[in-house]
Amino acid sequence: MPFDPAVIRASFAVVERRADHMAKYFYAHLFAHNPGVRALFPREMAEQRDRLFAALTQIVLRLEEPEQLTGYLRALGRDHRKFQAAPEHYPAVGASLIAALRHFSGHSWTPGIEKAWTEAYTVIAQTMAGAAAETRPEAPAWWEAEVGARRRAAPDIVVLTLVPMRPYPFVPGQYLTLSSPRLPRVWRPYSIANAPRSDGTLDVHVRRVPGGLLSTALVEDAMPGELLRLGPPLGDAVLDPDSRRPLLAVAGGTGWGQVRALLEQLAAGPAERDVTVLLAARSEAEQYDLPAVERLLARYGRLRVFPTSPARGHGRGHDRWHEDAAAPVRDALTRHGHWSGWDVHLSGPPGLAPALAALLTDLGADPDLIRYDPAPVTFNRARPLTSSEWFLDRRDVPWINRTELG
């Protein structure tokens, strides 16, 4: 590694508390010096600024983990094809990044720090651009897909059946990013909620997030015939094709979509594995896809499904989901006693999978056999106005790309 990670970390700590101001400066500098780049970004830049600093944070955290860092950067580079990122954009971004870091570091900025950041960014840019360049030329940067059908599964959940205009190759357990012309250049991740079908259609389960731009548009307004854009399939929370170990899957809320895809894959072959599913929801009314559960139980004889939800009258508020809905799951996992020798797949709202992964590890599960994709955390739209408010009120970040963040 040509740069000193300790220098990068120390200098990043200086500007971290001024994240919002630094991100604003970065984009102002970038657009002033490269006016044509502005068209590649969404009209509203607030969340884009959050994503910039969140990505920087992930990179800094992985400086001494070269394999994880490289995997993250390569996935980021491939995914950025859908934003029309080109090789000539990387030097412009690097110049604006150095300018922003220099401006907000003040007197702590030195030639040595600038050298370290320049070297680090060179590695970042080369890795991302290289991964994008290695992508097969015939592989599209995005897929056009038509909304073929919509089903209101719960008051704030719809199941959208999408019809890609060209074959969309994926593995059950992966997710996609989705954008609508209603909100150009705003992308959000959604699990693919089915195994591959002969007709090529895809299901996504969308919950309306309070204040969420895209989720609200999809739940309330997206109708059959509407065109959407799909980014390339992402994520590695897929089944181990060589494993015959018993499988535990925990699905929280619309995380059921990812688990349903895995179960459909298993049901299409011989019943060689015992499978236990804990299906968690904030309330009994939000067990929204039980007919599909019944069909899978009929198809796969070694499947057991246990719906769990808080006591009636609890868990209704969006902010109480993790506290109330996760408690029955934790109790069920603990009652089992140990999970040594099990494959584990976790899918659900933010915070659920990491917490359950830690519990399962304490209960004997092998951490290498626990798979999940980090979930995007709902964005807090009450934005801090000052540097002190930003520092005291750390905000959640809606990730565009979750790959390699686990």
- pLDDT given at position 402: 37
- pLDDT given at position 314: 38
Comparing CA positions, the residue from 205, 325, 187, 195 lying closest to residue 254 is: 205
Distance CA 61, CA 67 (A): 13
Residue 405 forms part of a structural domain: no
- pLDDT given at position 319: 34
* Residue with the two structure tokens 């073929």: 148
- pLDDT given at position 290: 92
Residue 17 forms part of a structural domain: yes
Contact partners, residue 394, CB within 8 Å, separation at least 6: none
Chain segment 198-221, per-residue pLDDT in tens: 999 999 999 998 878 889 999 999
DSSP-based three-state secondary structure for 151? strand
Residue 14 forms part of a structural domain: yes
Q: Are 171 and 58 members of one domain?
A: no
Chain segment 174-196, per-residue pLDDT in tens: 999 899 999 887 888 899 999 99
Residue 389 forms part of a structural domain: no
- pLDDT given at position 386: 52
We report the CATH number of the domain holding residue 62 as 1.10.490.10
Average pLDDT, the chain: 84
Bridge partners (DSSP) of residue 178 are 188, 230
The tally of domains found in the chain comes to 3
Comparing CA positions, the residue from 323, 339, 178 lying closest to residue 247 is: 339
- pLDDT given at position 324: 58
Contact partners, residue 36, CB within 8 Å, separation at least 6: none
Q: Are 359 and 270 members of one domain?
A: yes
The residue ranges of the chain whose pLDDT is under 70 are: 1, 47, 137, 311-325, 374-406
Distance CA 87, CA 83 (A): 12
Range of the domain at 301: 247-375
* Tokens encoding 92: 């412009």
* Residue with the two structure tokens 């593995």: 171
DSSP letters spanning 344-375: EEEE-STTHHHHHHHHHHHTT--GGGEE-PPP
Q: Are 147 and 120 members of one domain?
A: no
* Tokens encoding 91: 């030097």
Q: Are 11 and 125 members of one domain?
A: yes
- Do β-strands 187-191 and 143-154 pair in parallel, antiparallel, or remain unpaired? unpaired
Contact partners, residue 112, CB within 8 Å, separation at least 6: 7
We report the CATH number of the domain holding residue 226 as 2.40.30.10
- Domain-ending residue, one of 114, 134, 154: 134
Q: Does the predicted TM-score (pTM) go above 0.95?
A: no
Q: Are 258 and 368 members of one domain?
A: yes
Distance CA 356, CA 252 (A): 11
Q: Are 27 and 112 members of one domain?
A: yes
